Structure 1
């Protein structure tokens, strides 16, 4: 579908003469982190600065801001049910946005203490979000009805300084969740009923700076942001074991944070964490083959 750029919003894109460009420019100073794609060739990106949501057409690279943001971050994103589920970072919240209008339909205040709500995954009946500061997961109902609840994490995970639980996916059998801990490079399996965590056997490997994750069948992609790499793992059906089979790197990477698929490509926003941000700093989304 074509996208209409809202009035007063600058268009951004590159390689306009080619379908599905491999680099899509975002507004200067945007500071992207999360990405979600679909339905169709439409990407949604959140700003760490003020929570704006940018919508881009993957076919043309053109787009615009369609949800203005609350002034606090928008980090991990997922689409489903005609809705966009947004992790609110240091705002300590999560939001549910109408994909057609950009209107915030529901806001959940998830924590009464400082928090960093980082990433989100959709399961059959819930949206689960990580907190990189507090050892908990947040469970939101699918849709806009119901209340959020907090699930304390216990077992083998131990929170320390820096970014803790970050990216989150379901295990291949959909009975448990997998979370990556950025500061330790460990991957954990989480029981969504009890909060019990067990370290996934990585065969001696580690995933330092692990950020956004994507599961496709039994293949797990883990973005290692400051390493400018995406680790590709084969995961046991129950999520107890995983093996790194390769790492993807690309000259277009500039500290990518998260990943989303469309057809035979992976799309990653360059968060540029190692670049001092200014209102004029350029940002983009890049596409690579898996």
Structure 2
């Protein structure tokens, strides 16, 4: 690109909700502190999380529902009814719009968080496809596809205007990145600290790649002595990169240089409440991670939670 771009930050939202369901009970907590564990609906099968102010939004990989939780009280409600397709990676923009990666549906949806209304839908690909995660920059939304060596780009116009249904582009990945087998390849995505490029994690190899968003050219992010095995959701705060390693039940914490070409792992975060966490977002000074519970057979009554941990 000819100019740098920066990630878009969520703003506090007040929401008039479209669909109400019985609110999940808050976990007991003392002294008015927000609960460390947030109950999600039974059978929900969470995957993505995005935050805005005191609220977190969770997507169901089973039904596509979007659940909104008050992180102060732990209570919540469904704002978007089942779609029959997954809701995986999520991001909220300053206009109160939720960008949703559609998994095996090969699509993306943009929802109004105040009403749950679907504002736009984009069909990127058909099977085999797994549109897994999304990052927002100043002028575009970028989506990963875990089954294909590509990114999908939704350009955002003046004031964040959404493109028409066919107004996206597919960016083939070239250079160092190589697709490996038929399993989950590219997963989480963030912008680099300087905002000039993107970083993705390849789950099945544990490798981080820096991607030129204009050309799709990739290079390996040099992180000596560490492999991000089972890397899932990514979160960048300043120059600190958090990499959720789902089945390892931990978050790797790395410090990157500004260009995102190299980094050093400074530690890991674990918690007894982790049960295959998938993605991560920050709110109220803490990190929130939904437990995917991939090793637990899902049923309509299987309990699901999100866990809060301190950001290192």
Structure-1-length-normalised TM-score: 0.96
Name the SS of the counterpart of 1:226 in structure 2.
helix
Tell me which residue corresponds to 1:63. Answer: 76
Aligned match of 1:172 in 178, 184, 193? 193
Distance 1:153 1:13 in 2: 45
Q: 2:255: which partner in 1?
A: 234
Deviation of 1:69 after TM superposition, in Å, equals 3.3
What is the distance in 1 between the residues matched to 2:110 and 2:91?
10
Question: Is the aligned partner of 1:76 residue 2:89?
Answer: yes
* Structure 1 stretches of at least 4 aligned residues deviating more than 2 Å after TM superposition: 1-8, 13-19, 141-146
CA distance in 2, matches of 1:85, 1:219: 23
Residue 191 of structure 1 deviates from its aligned partner by 0.3
Q: Is the 8 A contact 1:5 1:11 kept in 2?
A: no
> Of 139, 142, 153, which residue of structure 1 is paired with 2:173?
153
**Once the two structures are superposed, what CA deviation does each residue of 1:17-66 show, in whole Å capped at 9, x if it has no partner?**
5441111111110000000000x111100000010000011110111110
- In structure 2, the residue matched to 1:14 is 26
Instruction: Provide the secondary structure at the position in 2 that maps to 1:240.
Output: coil
The unaligned stretches of length 5 or more in structure 1 are none
Structure 1 residues 57-98: Cα deviation after superposition (integer angstroms, max 9, x where no partner)? 111011111011320000000000210000000010000001
Q: Which of 46, 55, 58 in structure 2 is aligned with 1:45?
A: 58
Residue-pair matches, total: 289
Shift of 1:263: 3.0
2:278 is equivalent to residue 261 of structure 1 = no
Match of 1:183 in 2: 204
- Contact kept, 8 Å, 2:59 with 2:65, in 1: the verdict is yes
CA distance 1:19–1:195, change in 2 (3 Å): same
Where structure 2 has 5 or more consecutive residues not aligned to the other structure, the ranges are: 1-12
User: Deviations for 1:134-171, whole angstroms, at most 9, x for unmatched residues?
Assistant: 00000012342341110001111111121100000000
Match of 2:310 in 1: 289
Q: Offset of 1:204 from its aligned partner?
A: 2.3
The C-alpha deviation readout for 1:237-284, integer Å capped at 9, x for no partner, is: 111101110000000100000000013200000000111111111001
2:162 is the counterpart of 1:144: yes
Cα 1:235–1:286 change in 2 (3 A) is: same
Are 2:27 and 2:39, in contact at CA under 8 Å, matched by a contact in 1?
Answer: no
**Structure 1 residues 156-165 or 7-16, which shifts more?**
7-16
State the SS of the aligned residue for 1:276. coil
Distance in 2, Cα, partners of 1:194 & 1:242: 23
Aligned to 1:275: 296
Match status 1:197 vs 2:215: no
Distance 1:90 1:7, change over 3 A: closer
What are the within-5 Å matches in structure 2 for residues 17-28 of structure 1?
A: 18-28=32-42
1:5 deviates by 7.0
